[in-house]
Amino acid sequence: MGRLETGIHNGRLTPAEYDANFSDLHPRLNDHEALVASDRCYFCYDAPCMTACPTSIDIPMFIRQISTGNPIGSAKTIFDQNILGGMCARVCPTEQLCEQACVRNTAEERPVEIGRLQRFATDAAMDANKQFYARAASTGKKIAIVGAGPAGLACAHRLAVKGHDVTIFDARQKPGGLNEYGIATYKTVDDFAQKEVDYLLSIGGIDVKNGQALGRDFSLADLSSQYDAVFLGLGLAGVNALLIEGEDLDGVDDAVAYIADLRQAKDKSDIAIGRRVVVLGGGMTAIDAAVQAKLLGAEEVTICYRRGKEHMNASEYEQDLAASKGVIIRHWLAPKRILDKDGKVAGIEVEYTELRDGKLTGTGDTGVIAADQIFKAIGQTFQASGLGALRMESGRIAIDSEGRTSLDGVWAGGDCVLGGDDLTVSAVAQGRDAAESINRALGSAAQPTVAVA
């Protein structure tokens, strides 16, 4: 390909190159591969992998079901605990959770491929449109859920199974939350997030109202007066600011918004990308932004993180993935100011950092990295209005062990609550458990999960 002039451009690659670059990161196992992978499981009686799963899926059970040729039954075992098990199989940091705990995860062996086996089973059920749950008799109770992300969807499904009528309000135009807007494109191809939402909603009894924002279109008090219970699964909408000179220059972008735009783009060439890109941050968003910048045709992509490799929130696997795609990861660098040329980004000045007595400190030594585009991925914040007197702590909603907030009849879960760890699987667990608490509080008889023959 011929070189273009320096700057941010669209359409740097051919359609075939875009398709190849954004193909499925880990294609689904075929039947033989799944049998071989499942045969490696020891089916441990104490199941450390299950303990490591935030949704407590019976991992040995679902793997044994695959090994005996029963992927549909395996999917039910998964969905009983995690109705969003298909997406979690794609995006969970299994290398830090269940696979990290696997007894085969040693210097001599690799762990059982739990994530890929989970995808094999859940995909089989969804492809067959196998529905495992039927609604219980109507309770006449109405529950409002704010946020159609993982926590809200998991809560809605469990409540619908119990026979309650659920209305989900979401500010965006499509449901799915983080799964729809915040996951790297190559991790969830073929519009899987929407397919999973459709599968979940097929239980019935769940009405989704898009384009409805808390604090703009309604308040928490409005919902509390109209519904028997409310669940808040608001996620994180705000983005931390750099608070440095040049942050408002053309070419300084929010990595979260960039990932969302890429996920929604019908044509990858519509997303402009610089030739020299710098990503600021050390978490999953930084990795996803950097890798996708490279896949879009950026010639040089550098992640700058203010601490060391061992301090990065992104897993070692994800860091290695970025490196394999040609991303440069530089540690112990803090942004000082963004340099401009004619009002556009020309580079970034960084200061070398170190730990002194456990405190991050600048050394006074600086350097410059040339760049024509900079992505901010330094964390998100919880921003919501219309919450009234709801008690907050450390900028998040305070809840108890069942997800109950300080207001009667109001529960919360996911990234918006204190103690949230920004994982899809954890949000699912909190939404599911809050639904059980709501069901008990409403005085409904405990409804068993009903399997459809």
Domain boundary among 379, 396, 426: 379
2: in domain: no
Measured CA to CA, the distance from residue 244 to residue 246 in angstroms comes to 6
Angle, CA 23 vertex, CA 329 and CA 150 arms, to 5°: 80
Q: How many CB atoms lie within 10 A of CB 393?
A: 12
* pLDDT surpassing 60 at residue 447: no
* pLDDT surpassing 70 at residue 441: yes
Specify the amino acid at residue 55: T
> Could you tell me if 270 and 347 lie in one domain?
yes
Measured CA to CA, the distance from residue 347 to residue 367 in angstroms comes to 10
| pLDDT score of 449 | 44
Strand ranges for 255-358 from DSSP E: 276-280, 300-304, 328-330, 333-341, 344-356
> Could you tell me if 324 and 358 lie in one domain?
yes
451: in domain: no
Which of 116-130, 184-198, 304-318, 418-432 is predicted least confidently?
A: 418-432
> Could you tell me if 348 and 247 lie in one domain?
yes
Measured CA to CA, the distance from residue 346 to residue 218 in angstroms comes to 43
> Could you tell me if 361 and 315 lie in one domain?
yes
Measured CA to CA, the distance from residue 177 to residue 236 in angstroms comes to 10
* pLDDT surpassing 70 at residue 76: yes
- Residue 290 pLDDT class (50, 70, 90 cuts): very high
Total domain count, the chain = 3
Measured CA to CA, the distance from residue 418 to residue 395 in angstroms comes to 8
Q: What is the CATH number of the domain that holds 94?
A: 1.10.1060.10
> Could you tell me if 306 and 262 lie in one domain?
yes
Measured CA to CA, the distance from residue 175 to residue 160 in angstroms comes to 17
> Could you tell me if 371 and 291 lie in one domain?
yes
Residue 53 belongs to what domain range?
31-127
Q: Is the separation of the CB atoms in 261 and 233 below 8 Å?
A: no
Judged by DSSP in three states, 377 sits in: coil
Measured CA to CA, the distance from residue 401 to residue 423 in angstroms comes to 18
Measured CA to CA, the distance from residue 168 to residue 208 in angstroms comes to 5
| pLDDT score of 313 | 92
401: in domain: yes
* pLDDT surpassing 80 at residue 416: yes
Judged by DSSP in three states, 303 sits in: strand
The pLDDT tens digits of the residues spanning 176-215 come to: 999 999 999 999 999 999 999 999 999 999 999 999 999 9
DSSP, res 247: T
| pLDDT score of 391 | 94
| pLDDT (average), residues 137-161 | 97
Structure tokens at 221: 């008090």
Residue 16: phi and psi, rounded to 5, are -65, -35
> Could you tell me if 147 and 232 lie in one domain?
yes
Q: What is the CATH number of the domain that holds 408?
A: 3.50.50.60
Which of 163-172, 200-209, 372-381, 436-445 is predicted least confidently?
A: 436-445
> Could you tell me if 108 and 80 lie in one domain?
yes
Q: Is the separation of the CB atoms in 334 and 306 below 8 Å?
A: yes
| pLDDT score of 420 | 72
132: in domain: no
> Could you tell me if 289 and 320 lie in one domain?
yes
> Could you tell me if 225 and 246 lie in one domain?
no
The pLDDT tens digits of the residues spanning 241-255 come to: 999 999 999 999 999
Mean pLDDT (the chain, rounded): 93
> Could you tell me if 172 and 257 lie in one domain?
no
> Could you tell me if 230 and 266 lie in one domain?
no
Cβ contacts of residue 189 below 8 Å, gap of 6+?
22, 23, 24
- Residue 450 pLDDT class (50, 70, 90 cuts): very low
12: in domain: no
- Residue 9 pLDDT class (50, 70, 90 cuts): low
